[in-house]
Amino acid sequence: MIYELSPTVSSPESLHHDPVALAAATAEFHTSATGVLTQIPSSIAYLPFSHFIPAPTLASLTSTLRVDTPRASILASQFSPSTPLGQVEFNFDVSNHSPYFASEPGKVYGSMVIMLQYPFSVGSIHIPSSATFAPPRRAEAGDKPVIDPRYYLDAGALDFQLVAEAQKFGAKICATAPLAGIIEKRVFPPARESAEEEEAEEDFGDWVRDYTITDWHPVGTCGMGGSAGIEAGVVDARLRVYGVRGLRVVDASIMPLQVSAHIQATVYAIGEKGAALVLEDYYDRSNVEL
């Protein structure tokens, strides 16, 4: 959701359109290490569903949940009302994050970005087939992969309902002081205008269906197989690729699920652990790949 903010709100993004203000902010930063360039213009919280979805509604949403895969079974176990797991990230950022809404010059915007951390939706990434090209040819290294996110399909139908509920809570946050004090109006989706609309609970279903996009922090394309081995993953517990001698993957792609956080610190830990595993296997030949 995009909000128009009070013109008194300053942001690093707005400085790009005002050379005089940028020069002043830069000088203030170098002189006293204060001012707008010292800000992180966002506020972030990770919340469990039980924090903002009433228990009867949550129980109804999950009553038809399909748990016919190991991944779905793990995700389903996270719906206990007592779980402290941050299942949705609410991020209010002083900027316009939407590719669907064009900012007007001279105005300041804020985005309430809502990100589902453990989606049931499962997409696919494939090398393009020869039939993709005209004339037909084999794919080459420079060709883009074929990506189908499959948002809200199959078991992911539950994701759609959960995100729509999360949007309601995001709107409530933005209507609550002190944040509401710097907001002029919601511009995307447009704010409701009539008193009758204001009294009724807002339905974000159509908006969620039409404007969902993938956020940052991608993980999982080479997930660890765990006890299920190659049937459930790409790498083993020592980050070795199943069936490929001498190849490891040491990055965010080995994480089988997203985490309730921005992934930078976790990726650092994976890198440190991966380096240690390489050294261990180098000095202990009993662990060499078969």
Q: Which residue ranges make up each domain of the chain?
A: 2-119+151-211, 226-287
Q: Average the pLDDT over 236-258 and give the result.
A: 94
Look up 217 and say whether it is catalytic.
Answer: yes
> DSSP string spanning the chain?
-EEEEPTT---HHHHTT-HHHHHHHHHHHHHHS-SGGG---EEEEEE-HHHHS-HHHHHHHHTT----SHHHHHHHGGG-TT-----EEEEEESS---TTSPPPTT--EEEEEEEESS-----EEEPPPGGGSSS-----TTSPPEEE--TT-GGGHHHHHHHHHHHHHHHHHHTSTTGGGGEEEEEETBPP-SHHHHHSPP--HHHHHHH----S----TT-B-GGGGGGT-SB-TT-BBTT-TT-B--SGGG-SS--SS-SHHHHHHHHHHHHHHHHHHHH-GGGS--
For residues 160-177, average pLDDT: 95
pLDDT-based confidence at 45, cuts 50/70/90?
A: very high
Specify the pLDDT at position 199.
Answer: 64
User: Once rounded to an integer, what is the mean pLDDT over residues 78-94?
Assistant: 89
Please, which pLDDT band fits residue 290 given cuts at 50, 70 and 90?
very low
pLDDT in tens, 97-132: 999 999 998 888 999 999 999 999 988 889 999 988
Is residue 262 annotated as part of the catalytic site, yes or no?
yes
Average confidence (pLDDT) over 169-197:
89
Question: Is the pTM here over 0.75, yes or no?
Answer: yes
- Of all residues in the chain, the percent with pLDDT exceeding 70 is 94
* pLDDT at residue 153 greater than cutoff 90: yes
pLDDT of residue 75: 85
